[in-house]
């Protein structure tokens, strides 16, 4: 029986962390077949850039690519933090019904790393992934892209070749050395898991 592998991640201002994670996992024999990205209104251009890369760029539609929009422009308070924690937990649990889930915690605010890790513990994942990129590599200049192309035009329709080429260059920098770190997680007992889940908006 073929095991399906899903990657769940948040989009920050460095989309290359997502592609680097996928490429490094492939080297280990883990072929990601579906990617689920959580993004805020603030990171929508970066989400669109990744969507273009997956559909028209380096991956050329070989993987399913889905997005989950968070209902705020950024995380400003504890309620929004809990909303994010709940939404990523639900995404993990949905995917666990038919695939092995891999969670990348690199994208987004530092508070999102904490919430995503708590969700992973509650979902009984035994590890999460983090990607380290050299400074200045893989950073999407959203002001330049928005001003030059208006990324919102390409939520549904194909992007022009010059934009695709720019996004591929940003999303797939030539890195020296391994940037993917697998972080093991402890196995929590039922009481600890229930305590985390109780704090969510389920």
Output DSSP code: residue 5. E
Q: Where are the domains of the chain?
A: 5-198
Structure confidence at residue 1 as a pLDDT band (50, 70, 90): low
Over range 133-140, report the average pLDDT.
64
The tokens for 153 are 């035009």
CA distance 160 to 40: 25
The whole-number pLDDT of residue 175 equals 66
Q: Are strands 127-131 and 180-184 parallel, antiparallel or unpaired?
A: antiparallel
For domain 5-198, the question of CATH label 3.40.50.10770 is answered with: yes
| Residue 39 backbone dihedrals phi, psi, to 5 degrees | -145, 155
Rg (CA), the chain: 17
Structure confidence at residue 176 as a pLDDT band (50, 70, 90): low
CB 107 within 8 A of CB 75: no
CA distance 17 to 112: 15
CB 2 within 8 A of CB 30: no
The tokens for 124 are 């009984």
187, pLDDT greater than 80:
yes
């Amino acid at each position: 029986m073929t095991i399906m592998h899903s990657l769940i991640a948040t989009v920050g201002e460095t989309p290359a962390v997502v592609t680097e994670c996928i490429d490094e996992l492939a080297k280990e024999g883990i072929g990601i077949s579906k990617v689920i990205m959580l993004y805020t209104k603030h990171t929508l251009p970066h989400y669109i850039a990744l969507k273009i890369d997956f559909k028209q760029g380096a991956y050329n539609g070989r993987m399913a690519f889905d997005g989950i929009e968070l209902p705020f422009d950024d995380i400003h308070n504890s309620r929004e933090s809990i909303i994010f924690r709940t939404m990523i937990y639900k995404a993990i649990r949905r995917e666990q019904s038919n695939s092995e889930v891999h969670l990348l915690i690199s994208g987004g605010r530092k508070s999102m790393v904490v919430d995503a890790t708590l969700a992973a513990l509650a979902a009984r994942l035994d590890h999460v992934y983090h990607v380290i990129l050299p400074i200045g590599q893989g950073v999407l200049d959203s002001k330049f892209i928005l001003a030059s192309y208006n990324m919102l035009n390409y939520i549904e329709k194909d992007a022009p070749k010059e934009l695709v080429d720019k996004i591929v260059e940003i999303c797939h920098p030539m890195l020296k050395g391994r940037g993917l770190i697998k972080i093991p997680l402890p196995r929590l007992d039922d009481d600890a898991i229930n305590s985390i889940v109780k704090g969510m908006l389920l």
